[in-house]
Homo-oligomer: A and B are copies of this chain.
Amino acid sequence: MSKKFIDNYLLFQLALASHTFSEEFYDQLRAAGVSPPKWRILINLMDCPGMYLTALAKYALYEQSRVTKLVDQLVGEKLVEKRTSHQDRRRVSIHITDRGLALVKPLITQAKIHEKSVLAGLTPTDRKHLKSILKKLANRHAKDMQVANLKLVDTT
């Protein structure tokens, strides 16, 4: 087949890679009873506990109102907690609970194994290049973050 434009179009190539490998792992997640959006919220909180809701939304790549709803579900499952900030009573910082950690930790192990299997298809140099280039690309997003939201975490 031709596919002249798409196969060389960066945005499509990125979407394809992201989609293909994410779906692979999401099957494992669902088998563990965790939906992909909840996983994304939980690992972000694991990495950076106490994030304010809006910051969490930006890192998890979801809309604010959606994160409000996802977090409320996770609160219902006692996997995370909401704490109103004392400095700014509009803000809510989100904390992963012990129960949340217990759920997420084995999944991180699985994620690392899965990642290895993905990278196994590449040479060691390619692996190094890929990650380093993706990190460079990530800076564009990081800059938006800085401008938009200097205070990300509750530091009380």
Q: Which residues of A contact B (CB under 8 A)?
A: 1-22, 25, 43-44, 46-48, 59, 61, 108, 111, 114-115, 118-119, 121-122, 126, 129-131, 133-141, 152-153
Contacts and interface: CB of A to CB of B under 8 A. Distances in A.
Contacts of A13: 131, 134-135, 138
A19 B115 contact: no
Contacts of A11: 18, 21-22, 25, 111, 114-115, 118
Contact of A3 (B20, B22, B48, B140): B48
Contacts of A21: 10-11, 14, 137
A5 B20 CA distance: 21
| Total identical chains | 2
Nearest to A153: B1
B46 A5 contact: yes
Contact of A129 (B15, B133, B139): B133
18 contacts: A1-B153, A3-B47, A3-B59, A5-B108, A6-B44, A6-B47, A7-B135, A8-B131, A9-B111, A10-B118, A10-B131, A13-B134, A14-B17, A17-B134, A17-B138, A20-B137, A121-B140, A122-B133
